[in-house]
């Protein structure tokens, strides 16, 4: 068998599509990639972290195009393995939020996204890092992370589940005090954005640019309950940065300290840090993405 020149990595658990749908997408991708002159191979992930292993092996084998069919967590797992390399990432977004794909303007139709991933050209974007954890869309501390941890426990994914989880979490969550770059803040949430949105067109940093060498640090202050509807409307209308409760500043790095080990999310995936300090920094021009 010839050495593959394009590897497709498929998360069988991402989104709500059936395994049969994903098998059909694989067959479509293999045909399109072969027609485009690639020697393609497709592999299903078998456990958390498997996409990282597969992408790292592909990069070491000299494969220059890796396509992930999955959600934001799968995109993160794959992209982290090929940072600062000549291997480019194609994204077929089939997850719950698809934040990076939406920011990049990629199609949410799997077949159209496959055509883009096969026939598109690589562009260079930044990534971020919180302690040792890479991120490509957003990382967050506070309410965002609290919801991510609750959402990860749900048996069913998707936007309706996320909205229900966030709504229920809102009534129990209390703002937290942090020291951010040596200044004290009590916040509802702190989001550091490389791309502009969480996913599902929920824009926390509407002016974020994935290629400017900067991150957008978004401070959401505590707000009265009667402000929830307006803030939600602004979040999905790309105008949250106009709210008096949100302040956004560009930065290359930011240091956050809490009173105990920090609960965070990385591209929507929950993580409990071993330390009460998080150092977040941009990694400029570190990933090739197919558009």
Domain with CATH 3.40.50.10330 in the chain: 6-120
**Residues 146, 140: contact at Cβ < 8 Å?**
no
Please, where in the chain does CATH 2.60.200.40 lie?
Answer: 133-283
Which of 143, 184, 182 is closest to 165 using CA atoms? 143
pLDDT 10s per residue in the chain (291 long)? 578 999 999 999 888 789 999 999 999 999 999 999 999 999 999 999 999 999 999 999 999 999 999 999 999 999 999 999 999 999 999 988 899 999 999 999 999 999 999 999 999 999 999 999 999 999 999 999 999 888 888 877 777 777 888 888 888 899 999 999 999 999 999 999 999 999 989 999 999 999 999 999 999 999 999 999 999 999 999 999 999 999 999 999 999 999 999 999 999 999 999 999 999 999 999 999 999
Whether 202 contacts 236, CB under 8 Å? yes
Angle, vertex CA 71, rays to CA 163 and CA 102, nearest 5: 80
Six-digit token pair at 49? 């972290």
Rounded Cα distance, 220 and 244, in Å: 9
pTM, full prediction: 0.93
CATH-assigned architecture of domain 6-120: 3-Layer(aba) Sandwich (3.40)
Residue 269, helix vs strand vs coil: strand
Helix (H), strand (E) at residue 138: strand 138-142
Separation between Cα atoms, residue 12 and residue 202, nearest integer Å: 25
CATH number for the domain formed by residue range(s) 133-283: 2.60.200.40
Q: At what angle do helices 110-119 and 19-35 cross, to 10 degrees?
A: 30
């Amino acid at each position: 068998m010839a050495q593959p020149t394009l590897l497709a990595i498929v998360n069988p658990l991402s989104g709500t599509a059936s395994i049969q749908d994903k098998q059909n997408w694989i067959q479509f991708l293999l045909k399109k990639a072969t027609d485009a002159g690639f020697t393609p191979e497709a592999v299903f992930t078998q456990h958390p972290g498997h996409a990282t292993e597969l992408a790292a092996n592909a990069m070491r084998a000299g494969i220059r195009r890796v396509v992930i069919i999955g959600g934001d967590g799968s995109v993160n797992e794959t992209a982290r393995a090929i940072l600062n390399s000549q291997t480019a990432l194609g994204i077929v977004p089939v997850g719950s939020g698809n934040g990076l794909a939406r920011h990049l303007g990629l199609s949410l139709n799997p077949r159209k996204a496959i055509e883009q991933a096969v026939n598109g050209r690589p562009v260079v974007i930044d990534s971020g890092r919180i302690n040792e954890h890479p991120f490509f869309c957003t990382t967050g501390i506070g309410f965002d992370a609290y919801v991510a941890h609750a959402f990860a426990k749900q048996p069913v994914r998707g936007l309706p589940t996320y909205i229900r989880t966030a709504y229920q979490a809102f009534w129990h969550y209390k703002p937290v005090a942090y020291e951010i770059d040596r200044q004290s803040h009590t916040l509802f949430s702190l989001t550091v954005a490389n791309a502009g949105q969480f996913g599902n067109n929920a824009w926390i940093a509407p002016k974020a640019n994935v290629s400017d060498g900067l991150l957008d640090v978004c401070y959401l202050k505590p707000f009265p309950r009667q402000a929830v509807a307006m803030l939600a409307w602004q979040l999905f209308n790309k105008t949250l940065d106009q709210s008096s409760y949100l302040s956004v500043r560009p930065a290359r790095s930011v240091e956050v300290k809490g009173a105990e080990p920090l609960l965070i999310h990385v591209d929507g995936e929950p993580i409990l840090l071993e330390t009460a300090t998080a150092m977040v920094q941009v990694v400029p021009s570190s990933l090739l993405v197919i558009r």
